[in-house]
Amino acid sequence: MNKKSVIGLLFVGALTFMTTSCADMFNIDSSRIVYEHNHKLDSSADSVYSTIGILHAFQQIADRYIILGEVRGDMVDLNKNAKASLRNLSEFNFDDDNEYLRVGDYYNVINNCNYLITHMDTTIRHNNKPVMTDEYVAALSIRAWTYMQLALNYGKVPYFTNPITKVAESEADYPLYDIKDLALELIPQLLPYMEYDLPAWEGLSAGGSSLTAATCDLLFPPIQLLLGDLYLWLGDYQNAWSTYSDFITDNPKYSMRASTGGASTTFTGLMPLGDGQITTDPRRTGRNVTALNYPTYNGIGMGMLTNILGSRGEAITVVPMEISSENGTVSEIPSLFTSSENTHPLKGSALWEQISNAQHYFYSTRTSTASTEYSVLGGKGDQRINFYVKEQKNDEDEFETMEKFVQGRTTTGSSTTYYIRMLVLYRRALVHLRAAEALNCLANQQHNSQMAVQAFNILRDGFDLLFPNGSTYKAELQPFTLGVHARGCGFVYLDTASYVVKDNVIAEFYNKDVADVNFSDTIHYVEDRICDELALETTFEGNRFTDLIRFAERRGADYLAGKVACRKGYENRDEALYQKLLDKKNWYLPLK
């Protein structure tokens, strides 16, 4: 299908902004036209109403962020009852009638954003303050994120910023942009608003209950993180690193408070990884964990990680979803991964289990702040898999379900329905991991092995990143600034032998002689550890396949192909799938 036919198919019709159903958007016969072609958005009511319409359209593509990003990746496999559309996605057979490939839903969001951005009167002021800028920047943010998803999933996509409200506009010749083309277009649009504080809307309804102000300030992707992602995809690693690290270390929204010896200090602008830092198995029934009876040291919890995707402290951007279809869009994601009757079609892959089980858990035995004693709990592996995977049993068989997305459940008789109130697009750990990736790539560009070690330490121990000049509160703060790896593997910063960047460790990892370890091995070792950490921490959240594309752009097509082909375990590599994915054209979905 050529680009003109795609545009013509998607955009014949009139623009609508609706807070109920968006099903007839872009239908030329629609009777729900709210705005004419030349309508000016010149009141705050117009801007808010329009943005709510965008958010409702945004719900339509939220599930696909996870489905397209994970079903094609290496961390998800299919259960026996997976429907054809999911199986075809998993096998990279993109049939025309697959319901997950409808590109029009993305352009519904984009066209609504285009209309608001084009027609909003941002010069209006009240008490000498602009009253329309919040919604204007919010539309820029959602449009940029949506265009990124289009390019990452479809390769090259039609790009336009004019709102299409007439048939003639749909027949224009729009350019096809890939992710790098988009980055060059979007970065200048977003830069003026890089540190803009996006609006918080208390009172919006999601999941059948009113959102609080604490949640409503998470509705729009931060411009700063969008810029970081665009720089990363563009290969501008200096700006990517600077943008991510500034978000972590110089963000007025975040702070930490420490006290010792009767004194207390608030560290404003720092975004630590926060509570729930170190994970144990909450059910004590994990497949490779028995009752470990972790101790607590100095009041620092070795306690359970709460549902991190529902954590206010962890989430940065969310898409609110509904419990009832009467109120709007209900997410399909819980039913894809979790069911009480073993009817869910998706599960964690054998490769995810192998990567998790290969990790070491570090158990602190220290008795004072000066002590660095620890034990390695051999064979225990990363604990995140045991937190999120639940073993279940019915009359027919035993099976596993993924509870990473479950934020609520309703039970009628013997039937249980799982639901979520929000899907998370950005969270703190993801920012730390992308910062590490950008810094390691910058280290490669500058041929700086010490910088690569600093990138690795974002995974291992973030204290020196957050406090480059040290802090008298180190003993109190460090457990809360541990790197992402600590979430599943304990006090990793105490380890000086295995989870480190040293020639002997790298040599063992790549099965080569220590004398043969070179700078490229160091860069690749850190990059491989970051890639594995993305699997351990963010798997099932929607990033995996596009993360693998980005890594493969640096390491070669076989990097992605080899991982996806090993979904069922290293020993069960799918050679046909491997060969198929060596051709990059097979990575991308067809425009239809």
Q: Which amino acid is at 527?
A: E
- The interaxial angle of helices 519-538 and 544-555, nearest 10 deg, is 170
* Spatial separation of the C-alpha atoms in residues 226 and 232, rounded to whole Å: 10
- 8 A C-beta contact, residue 86 and residue 63: no
Is residue 211's pLDDT more than 90?
no
CA-closest candidate to residue 60, choices 409, 325, 314, 417: 325
What residues form DSSP beta bridges with 157? 177
Cα–Cα distance measured from residue 151 to residue 582, given in angstroms and rounded to the nearest whole number: 19
Which range, 110-119, 141-150, 386-395, is most confident? 141-150
* Beta-strand relationship, 129-130 and 209-210: unpaired
| Residue 68 to residue 81: CA distance in whole angstroms | 18
Tell whether pTM > 0.75: yes
- C-alpha dihedral, 226 to 229 to 231 to 235, nearest 10°: -170
**Residue among 592, 488, 551 nearest 73 (CA):** 551
Q: Is the pLDDT of residue 256 over 60?
A: yes
Residue from 341, 334, 353, 355 nearest 402 by CA? 334
* Residue 45, number of CB atoms within 10 A of its CB: 8
Q: Share the mean pLDDT of the chain.
A: 82
Determine if residue 81 is left, alpha or beta; phi over 0 gives left, psi from -120 to 50 gives alpha, anything else beta: alpha
What does the pLDDT look like over 476-499, one tens digit per residue? Answer: 888 778 899 988 888 888 888 899
The terminus-to-terminus CA distance of the chain in angstroms comes to: 7
Tell me the per-residue pLDDT of 277-309, one tens digit each, with 9 for 90 and over.
455 433 333 333 333 333 333 333 333 344 455
Count Cβ neighbours within 10 Å for each residue of 277-315 and write b for 16 or more, e otherwise: bbbbbbeeebebbeebebeebeebbbeebebbbbbeebb
Q: Go through the domains of the chain in sequence order and give each one's CATH number.
A: 3-193 (1.25.40)
For the beta carbon of residue 501, count every other beta carbon within 10 angstroms.
19
Query: For residues 226 and 231, what is the distance between their CA atoms, to the nearest angstrom?
Result: 9
Q: Does 269 score more than 70 pLDDT?
A: yes
Q: What value does the mean pLDDT take over residues 255-260?
A: 83
Task: Give the DSSP H/E element, type plus range, for residue 408.
Answer: strand 408-412
Q: Residue 31: what pLDDT?
A: 32
User: How far is residue 471's CA from residue 257's CA, in Å, rounded to a whole number?
Assistant: 12
- The pLDDT value recorded for residue 200 is 65
> Of the given ranges (149-153, 210-214, 447-451), which has the lowest mean pLDDT?
210-214
Nearest to 105, CA basis, from 142, 57, 137: 57
Residue type, 11: F
Parallel, antiparallel or unpaired: strands 361-364 and 398-402: unpaired
Alpha carbon 429 to chain centroid distance?
Answer: 9
- Sign, CA torsion 58/416/209/307: negative
Q: Which has the minimum average pLDDT: 186-190, 325-329, 525-529?
A: 325-329
Q: Are 408 and 419 in contact (CB under 8 A)?
A: yes
Q: Phi/psi at 588 (nearest 5 deg)?
A: -105, 150
- Using DSSP bridges, classify how beta strands 346-348 and 76-78 pair: parallel, antiparallel or unpaired: antiparallel
Q: Is the dihedral of CA 548, 552, 557, 558 positive or negative?
A: negative
* DSSP H stretches of helix in 276-326: none
Q: Which amino acid is at 413?
A: G
Instruction: Give the pLDDT score at 347.
Output: 94
How far apart (Å, rounded) are the C-alpha atoms in residues 81 and 345? 6
Does the pLDDT of residue 465 top 60, yes or no? yes
